[in-house]
Amino acid sequence: MMRDRIEEGGESEESAVLVVDDDQDVRVALSSLFRSAGLAAESFASAEELLAHGIPDRPTCIVLDVHLHGASGLDLQATLNRAGRHASIVFISGRGDVPMTVAAMKAGAVNFIAKPFRDQDLLDAVDEALQRDRAQREAEAQSRQLRDHFDTLTGREQEVMQLAARGLMNKQIADDLGISEATVKIYRGHAMRKMQARTFAELVIMAQSLGLVQDDAG
């Protein structure tokens, strides 16, 4: 079979490891390694096979050989990056060089490990990759939730939130928008409630995250 399925381990519902290597012996060895570590995983003989299968919608690490039949590991990394697909990559290679390593890391790889490697070194790298992908997914989920909350605000509430987050006082906002100061306070209160901001400082941070105001620290 072109794809060797690995028995699911204890973290099967939380994470996935996808092994891409055109050497069947390597795929079998890594299958055994990840199974022994309690990781759910699948293995693939080529970049094309992985792309046909797709990336699961959960924290994922791709253990990827640089040199493959067909598209290379670096080609696959570039394809996934262009598509905005989730997965943290750990490259493995028996013929890696410095420029290749630099290119992989600049494109977002978590690690680049030369064959032969210690099992623990690879497991540590995969653990780091899964943690990184999990954190990125959580951050993007929070960002989507923040945008969803912002979309529930009326146009005027959004204006008040943005101006208040920029540091304008209620009277200044009222003058800018041609409304009363009391009305500004109402809109500001609505924005706080709909954004689920417990404090005004939280509302400012939310506005910065949404790109409504510049973060001076950045």
Q: Residue 2: what pLDDT?
A: 35
Mean pLDDT of 100-124: 92
Mean pLDDT of 94-99: 78
CB 176 within 8 A of CB 168: yes
Q: Which helix (H) or strand (E) holds 16?
A: strand 16-20
Domains of the chain, first to last: 4-140 (3.40.50.2300), 152-209 (1.10.10.10)
Mean pLDDT of 1-18: 52
- Residue 95: is its pLDDT beyond 80? no
Q: Residue 121: what pLDDT?
A: 95
pLDDT tier for residue 213 given thresholds of 50, 70 and 90: confident
Name which of 12-26, 36-50, 175-189 the model is least confident about.
12-26
Mean pLDDT of 139-166: 95
Q: Which residues contact 49 (CB under 8 A, 6 or more apart)?
A: 2, 3, 20
Q: Residue 14: what pLDDT?
A: 77
Identify which of 31, 36, 32 has the alpha carbon closest to the alpha carbon of residue 18. Answer: 31
With a pLDDT cut of 70, the percent of the chain lying above it is 92
Q: Which of 54-58, 105-109, 124-128 has the highest mean pLDDT?
A: 124-128
ω into 99 cis (within 30 of 0): no
Structure tokens at 88: 């943290």
Q: Tens digits of per-residue pLDDT, 30-85?
A: 988 998 899 988 999 999 999 999 999 899 999 999 999 999 999 999 999 999 88
Burial class (CB in 10 A: 0-12, 13-18, 19+), 68: buried
Identify which of 190, 170, 189, 167 has the alpha carbon closest to the alpha carbon of residue 180. Answer: 170
- Residue 7: is its pLDDT beyond 50? no
Burial class (CB in 10 A: 0-12, 13-18, 19+), 2: exposed
pLDDT tier for residue 12 given thresholds of 50, 70 and 90: very low
Cα separation, 176 vs 179, in Å, equals 8
- Residue 98: is its pLDDT beyond 90? no
Per-position DSSP letters for 134-200, written without gaps between them:
HHHHHHHHHHHHHHHHHHTS-HHHHHHHHHHHTT--HHHHHHHHTS-HHHHHHHHHHHHHHHT-SSH
Q: Which residues contact 176 (CB under 8 A, 6 or more apart)?
A: 163, 168
Q: Residue 215: what pLDDT?
A: 59
SS3 string of 41-96?
Answer: EEEECCHHHHHHHCCCCCCEEEEEECCCCCCCHHHHHHHHHHHCCCCEEEEEECCC
Name which of 1-5, 100-104, 140-144, 186-190 the model is least confident about.
1-5
Name which of 5-9, 94-98, 132-136 the model is least confident about.
5-9
- Residue 10: is its pLDDT beyond 60? no
Mean pLDDT of 92-103: 84
